[in-house]
Amino acid sequence: MFLAARDSVRDVVFVDGVRTPFGKAKGVYSETRADDLIVRVIRELLRRNPSLPAERVDEVAIAATTQTGDQGLTIGRVAGILSGLPQSVPGYAIDRMCAGAVTAVTTTASAIAIGAYDVAIAGGVEHMGRHPMGEGADPNPRFVSEQLVDLSALVMGQTAENVHDRYPAITKARADAYALASQQKVAKAYADGRIQPDLVPVAARHVESGWELVTADEPPRPETTLEGLAGLKTPFRPHGRVTAGNAAGINDGATGCVLAAADIADELGLTAKMTLVGFGFAGVEPHVMGVGPIPSTEKALARTGLSIDDIGLFELNEAFAVQVLAFLDHFKIDDDDPRVNPYGGAIALGHPLASSGVRLMTQLARQFTERPEIRYGLTAMCVGLGMGATTIWENPHFEGASGATDRTGEAA
């Protein structure tokens, strides 16, 4: 029996989030260890928040999809020790494929809410160039022999083609147009200095050329055109609709954030950037995993008592353009709605699997700071093997009238 039961849960706040610039697989981080990437993130979080004593961190939860090699050995514990945290601070590894960092956040936040922790560091790392998705995996033959899942469920690009089949109104041309917009929004966000404040520079080693200081994301292609996208091959199906241009790449990178109980953040002089309202995870048929954010968002909204019209900002992970467009169609949101991914998304920035969830949160927190008229925002992403993950956050800087926000992001 839990004798110290509380009458109510505590508010949990997102104090700060940072990430490494994302790299292309076999690119800028090809000779950099995965654990060194996440160590750089944790050290930067501590540097940026000097009023947080290292010994006050109660847990380090770090996600990785492929938990082997330099992102194995219980990466949360390894990263904590290597970062210089006291050895009394525990850590663990977590895996929910693309939603690993999201799960690290919701798991530690839940522990903070009930009083088991006061402060936690949560994040994710993925070095897909060194550890491709599924490396060393041995899928049980019952998946196929007992027809538990469609064979295409194990190839993410094929699942995206399946979502196109389910939503015939989402054409390749429409997916390409969405992809182009993502590239353009990222280019503008960089030009306006919106992304750089939350990037931590990384010294990347190269045997032949020496060291390089990485200060910007490697994947964006600002020169992208619709004509160029239209001419790309469809590797997952002849005459298909999914290409390298309207999908996220294979990437390396790490993310992390500091979470705290609201009263502890006040005690330590830490500034709250967001307050957690609620979250939802849901399962769907694995061969159409891209629709996962639809039921996870419906679940999160239902449990928080909010509606989709209450959401003033959306950070949706762009694993594939079709997946985001299916979400928008379901909730009757326009493709170019200004609430959606204002700084662009993973099609341009990259998607290092388990790390991406905290990138979404960090960008949402930055937008909250700049948009005090917005009260609620959410992050959502699809997850391999047929899942969705959604978190809903409240803006502590909110200055508008209480109630919903309209589709332009103005307080109703």
Give catalytic residues, as residue numbers: 98, 351, 382
**Whose CA is closest to 125, among 78, 172, 193, 86?**
78
Between helix 156-166 and helix 321-330 the angle, nearest 10°, is 40
* Angle (CA) 182 188 193, round 5°: 125
Q: How far is CA 49 from CA 54, 119, 197, 236, in A?
A: 10, 12, 14, 45
For residue 241, give both structure tokens.
Answer: 């609709």
Between helix 321-330 and helix 293-304 the angle, nearest 10°, is 40
Q: How far is CA 27 from CA 94, 95, 214, in A?
A: 26, 24, 11
Question: Which residue matches tokens 């190839």?
Answer: 155
For residue 146, give both structure tokens.
Answer: 């007992």
DSSP 8-state symbol, 286 = G
Radius of gyration (Cα) for the chain, nearest Å?
Answer: 20
Q: How far is CA 11 from CA 65, 154, 273, 377, in A?
A: 29, 38, 13, 17
